């Protein structure tokens, strides 16, 4: 009996030590994710407020003297491009392809290759360039830049860990950062998780699910703490839908999938053409022409050519003016096309959603649909166009679902994403992000460190249906 008591005491001490050690290691591994997630949430809030302030500044000037934008827009295009060109060429565009490239390049000795893609300097230039761009009326979003900013935060935290700290996978940190960035930008935690699984990772979820979930939750809660538990687009009415709405949903999915892929292909063609420019003045001429053209569309046709398109979507969903004309729908396509090819920083998620919303509204006018049926077609168009650009149908569907909290139409949204993904495949087998990711990886692995060389073919993707 005495021997049994002694043995039990010894075992208890041993288990206490093991448990304490496991708890310590677990806590040390979790702390970097929690810290980076908190910083990401704060950064996303600050960036969103700056972005909104810039958009309000644009509206303020436009209402008083819209002709000023024939000067403001070209100047802002040039300044935004110059900031990227002068200080950090990898801060251009969305930021999502850069994060994808960083994940692909992640290995034990790849810090030098990742640094140009994810750094504090990238964060600063990304914010400055995109804010200047949107103030000038650029049709860009903040979600892609937020993802690159978040990836940079997580990567730097990983770099700063002392040598005695428990080993943490760099790939897991970057992927968790990207998911946290999207979740904080749109207040869409599920969207951030699905995005990481569908777009970023080839690793089994079991290897990083805890880190991913905690990063998304902490970043999202931090953003909500300052901005409140808001929905990005509110609560559109999608009640009393027609039983035959699956037919127009399929039609708009095909249309937006084709258009999203076609616009992406046009962007790549323009970017490829711009890479032939050997002189700086040629880039400046292109920026002046693009800025003047965008200002002309906004001043003489419709102001909806400017900005991310969030207000444009809200106007369709929450007013009685459900139908848009062909000219306005085309403006929401032309604006991002001119803005994204400038070479400045700026995302494509939000502009893609607004382009899809415009096409959905246009198709609804052709069918003379009711207000609630039109809202559904607008949501399906948003999913379809974003899928055409990104080839992530489930991410697109979940994002729109979380932005609107309309769970009764989830099957329509998933259907739209799947059909759009197949339609987009007819235009190009690869997404815009795939092409740009290959470009960044090639430029860094070749030693040229110049992302402005001609694009090469992306690797063969899997068709997500």
**Cβ neighbours of residue 53 under 8 Å, at least 6 residues apart?**
none
The answer on 144 and 97 residing in a single domain is yes
Lowest mean pLDDT among 6-15, 23-32, 210-219, 262-271: 6-15
* Res 262: pLDDT: 95
Coil vs helix vs strand at 245: coil
What does the pLDDT read at residue 290? Answer: 93
- If asked whether residues 148 and 264 sit together in one domain, one would say no
Q: Domain containing 295 — which CATH number? A: 1.10.3080.10
Judge if 137 and 275 occupy the same domain. Answer: no
Residue matched to tokens 């140009």: 116
Average pLDDT over residues 27-46: 85
Q: 402 and 256 in one domain?
A: yes
pLDDT average, residue stretch 109-127: 86
pLDDT, tens digit (0-9, with 9 covering 90-100), for 156-193: 998 888 887 778 878 888 888 888 888 887 777 777 77
Q: Which of 227, 262, 281 is the last residue of a domain?
A: 227
Residue 460 in any domain: the answer is: no
Structural domain of residue 421, as residue ranges? Answer: 246-445
383 is a domain residue: yes
Rounded distance, CA 287 to CA 275, Å?
14
Closest CA to 435 of 94, 48, 189: 94
**Structure-block tokens of residue 371:** 């207000």
Whether 363 and 418 map to the same domain: the answer is yes
The candidate with the shortest Cα–Cα distance to 99, out of 29, 146, 44, 66, is 146
Q: Which two tokens stand for residue 30?
A: 């979790």
Choose the most confident range, by mean pLDDT, from 152-161, 300-309, 379-388, 436-445. 379-388
Give the pLDDT confidence score for residue 454 in this predicted structure.
44
**What pLDDT does 376 receive?**
92
> Does residue 410 share a domain with residue 320?
yes
In 3D space, the residue among 257, 262, 255 whose CA is nearest the CA of residue 387 turns out to be: 257
Question: What are the residues whose beta carbons fall under 8 Å from the beta carbon of 321, sequence distance 6 or more?
Answer: 315
Least Cα distance to 89 among 54, 60, 116, 118 occurs for 116
Total domains in the chain come to 2
Q: Identify the bridge partners of residue 93 per DSSP, sorted by sequence position.
A: 345
Residues 328 and 432 grouped into a single domain = yes
Do 255 and 365 lie in one domain? The reply is yes
Kindly state whether residues 77 and 220 are assigned to the same domain: yes
Q: Are 427 and 259 in contact (CB under 8 A)?
A: no
Residue 9 lies in a domain: no
On whether both 162 and 279 belong to a single domain, the answer is: no
**121 is a domain residue:** yes
């Amino acid at each position: 009996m005495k021997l049994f008591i002694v043995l039990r005491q010894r075992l208890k001490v041993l288990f206490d030590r093991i448990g304490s050690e496991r708890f310590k290691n677990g806590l040390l591994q979790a702390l970097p994710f929690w810290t980076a997630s908190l910083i990401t949430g704060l950064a996303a809030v600050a960036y969103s407020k700056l972005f909104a302030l810039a958009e309000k500044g644009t509206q303020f000037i436009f209402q008083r003297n819209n002709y000023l934008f024939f000067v403001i827009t070209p100047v802002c295009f040039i300044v935004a491009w110059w900031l990227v060109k002068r200080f950090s060429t990898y801060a251009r565009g969305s930021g999502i392809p850069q994060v994808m490239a960083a994940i692909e390049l992640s290995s034990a000795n790849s810090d030098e290759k990742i640094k140009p893609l994810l750094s504090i300097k990238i964060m600063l230039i990304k914010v400055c360039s995109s804010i200047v761009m949107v103030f000038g009326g650029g049709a860009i979003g903040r979600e892609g830049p937020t993802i690159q900013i978040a990836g940079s935060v997580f990567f730097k935290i990983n770099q700063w860990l002392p040598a005695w700290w428990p080993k943490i996978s760099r790939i897991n940190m970057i992927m968790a950062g990207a998911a946290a960035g999207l979740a904080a930008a749109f207040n869409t935690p599920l969207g951030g998780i699905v995005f990481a699984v569908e777009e970023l990772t080839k690793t089994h979820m079991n290897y990083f699910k805890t880190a991913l979930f905690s990063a998304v939750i902490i970043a999202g809660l931090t953003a909500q703490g300052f901005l409140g538990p808001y929905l990005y687009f509110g609560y559109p009415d999608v009640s009393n839908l027609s039983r035959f709405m699956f037919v127009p949903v399929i039609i708009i999915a095909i249309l937006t999938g084709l258009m999203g892929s076609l616009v992406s292909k046009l962007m790549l063609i323009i970017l490829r053409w711009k890479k032939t420019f050997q002189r700086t003045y040629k880039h400046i001429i292109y920026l002046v022409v693009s800025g003047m053209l965008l200002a002309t569309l906004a001043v003489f046709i419709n102001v909806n050519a400017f900005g991310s398109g969030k207000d444009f979507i809200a106007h369709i969903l929450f007013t009685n003016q459900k139908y848009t004309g062909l000219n306005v729908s085309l403006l929401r396509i032309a604006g991002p096309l001119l803005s994204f090819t400038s070479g400045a920083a700026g995302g494509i998620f939000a502009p893609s959603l607004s382009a899809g919303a415009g096409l959905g509204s246009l198709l609804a006018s052709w069918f003379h649909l009711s207000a609630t049926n039109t809202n559904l077609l607008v949501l399906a168009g948003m999913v379809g166009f974003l899928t055409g650009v990104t080839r992530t149908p489930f991410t697109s569907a979940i994002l729109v679902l979380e932005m609107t909290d309309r769970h009764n139409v989830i099957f329509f949204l998933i259907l739209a994403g799947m059909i759009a993904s197949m339609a987009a495949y007819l235009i190009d087998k690869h997404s815009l992000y795939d092409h740009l990711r290959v470009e960044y990886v090639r430029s860094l692995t070749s030693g040229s460190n110049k992302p402005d060389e001609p694009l090469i073919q992306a690797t063969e993707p899997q068709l997500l249906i």
